[in-house]
Structure 1
Amino acid sequence: MNNQELQLNIISPEKKLFSGAVTSVVIPGISGLFGVYANHAPLVSPMTAGVITYTTAGKEETIEVKGGVAEVNQNVVTICVS
Structure 2
Amino acid sequence: MRNSELQLNIISAEKKIFSGKVTSVVIPGVSGKFGVLPDHAPLISPLMEGQIVYSIEGAEQAVDVKGGIAEVVQNVVTICVI
Which segments of 5 or more consecutive residues in structure 1 lack a partner in the other structure?
none
TM-score under structure 2 normalisation? 0.96
Q: CA deviation at 1:58?
A: 1.6
Number of matched pairs: 81
% identity of equivalent residues: 67
Matching residue of 1:4: 4
**Structure-1 separation of matches of 2:45 and 2:23:** 20
Deviation at 1:57, TM superposition (A): 1.9
Kindly report the root-mean-square deviation, in angstroms, between the aligned alpha carbons of the 2 structures: 1.0
Q: Alpha-carbon deviation of 1:52?
A: 0.3
Moved over 2 A (4+): none
Uncovered stretches (5+) of structure 2, i.e. residues with no partner = none
Q: Deviations over 1:20-52 (max 9, x none)?
A: 000000000000000000000000000000000
- TM-score, normalised with respect to structure 1: 0.96
How far is 1:69 from its partner? 0.1
